[in-house]
Chains A and B, each alone.
Chain A
């Protein structure tokens, strides 16, 4: 039985509400999804929450999965969850700006996040623009093809290729 057959069997089990199959999905995708969230937020606590949300949504939405690339489907949900998080963060920031400038600086501080020491890569990633950072992480953690990523982002494949190339080249320069 191939890996794809295994995944198909697990997904069918999930659709039937089999808890064991959901556990298998969590085991298979939690690491990659967590890495994706962590590299985008730089915060383990937030990543924990986003990861939980991802799997809650997975349970809710598994009935709407109609075949095709499961990774693409899963990371589309992950991307939406991250965007929702960004929006809520923006709202919080605006509230803080209005009431408390000190707290706002804690939220926007790039080198620390909840008292965590960020690794060098995370510090450099924070300096990149949000869209490029998201594209690099989506490609790296989802393992989707450029065609799938371009389709998910609703942009021409040439644009996706060019952005990723520029982003990774810049990241390499920053890391050297």
Chain B
């Protein structure tokens, strides 16, 4: 303790005890600390100090390597993402025609069945037409079969012509509603 420290300590003690007692306490502390100074503790060996420094250096290196490893991973991911972005941009440039309008492609649907067929509200007539159509189809199937088997009594060419005419008639009748 230097002179200033002793003075400060005496002032501190005086907050709790009288001036003379404070002086005595400071003296006791000074002498006690003198004993500690006269009996110094051993110092750490240079090997211990070197080992500590080595451990610290190793620890710092590990931390740096760890941080480097993390940064490396981040850079790799960023590089892959950049490559994917560039390839996508190139693909768009080369494979999409510039005159084509952007936006989703519209799919057009067309029906072979006339809308009037579905719009009809006369279910009874429609059912009758359907029954006639079915009957005619069956009849034609029968005639076709007869022709294939050569059982037709009429001239083969005439029968085919008749069949074609009949089919045309059915088609026009049916789609007319």
Say yes or no: is A66 at the interface (Cβ < 8 Å to chain B).
Answer: no
- Among A154-176, those with CB < 8 Å from B are 157-158, 161-162, 164-165, 167-169, 171-172, 175
Min CB–CB distance B50 → chain A (angstroms) = 10
Contact A146 B60, beta carbon cutoff 8 Å: no
Among A30, A164, A172, point to the contact of B44 (Cβ < 8 A). A30
Among B29, B39, B56, B59, point to the contact of A23 (Cβ < 8 A). B56
Contact A140 B39, beta carbon cutoff 8 Å: no
A59–B28 Cα gap in the complex (Å)? 38
Dominant secondary structure of chain A at its interface with chain B: helix
- Among A14-34, those with CB < 8 Å from B are 17, 19, 22-23, 26-27, 30-31, 34
Say yes or no: is A110 at the interface (Cβ < 8 Å to chain B).
Answer: no
Contact A140 B43, beta carbon cutoff 8 Å: no
Among A34, A44, A59, point to the contact of B60 (Cβ < 8 A). A59
Contact A26 B56, beta carbon cutoff 8 Å: yes
B52-78 CB mask vs A (1 if < 8 Å, else 0) is 110111011001100000000000000
Chain A residues, Cβ within 8 Å of B16: 158, 161-162
Chain B residues, Cβ within 8 Å of A78: none
Chain A residues, Cβ within 8 Å of B48: 48, 51-52
Say yes or no: is B9 at the interface (Cβ < 8 Å to chain A).
Answer: yes
- Among A55-99, those with CB < 8 Å from B are 55-56, 59
Say yes or no: is B25 at the interface (Cβ < 8 Å to chain A).
Answer: yes
Say yes or no: is B42 at the interface (Cβ < 8 Å to chain A).
Answer: yes
* Chain B interface residues (CB < 8 Å from chain A): 9, 12-13, 15-16, 25, 28-29, 31-33, 35-36, 39-45, 48-49, 51-53, 55-57, 59-60, 63-64
Q: Could you show 15 A-B contacts with beta carbons less than 8 Å apart?
A: A17-B60, A19-B53, A22-B53, A22-B56, A26-B49, A35-B43, A56-B56, A59-B56, A59-B59, A119-B39, A120-B39, A121-B35, A121-B36, A168-B28, A175-B35
Given contacts A17-B64, A161-B13, 17 further A-B contacts (CB under 8 A): A19-B53, A19-B56, A30-B49, A31-B43, A35-B41, A44-B42, A47-B44, A48-B45, A51-B44, A55-B55, A136-B32, A136-B36, A140-B36, A165-B25, A165-B29, A167-B32, A172-B31
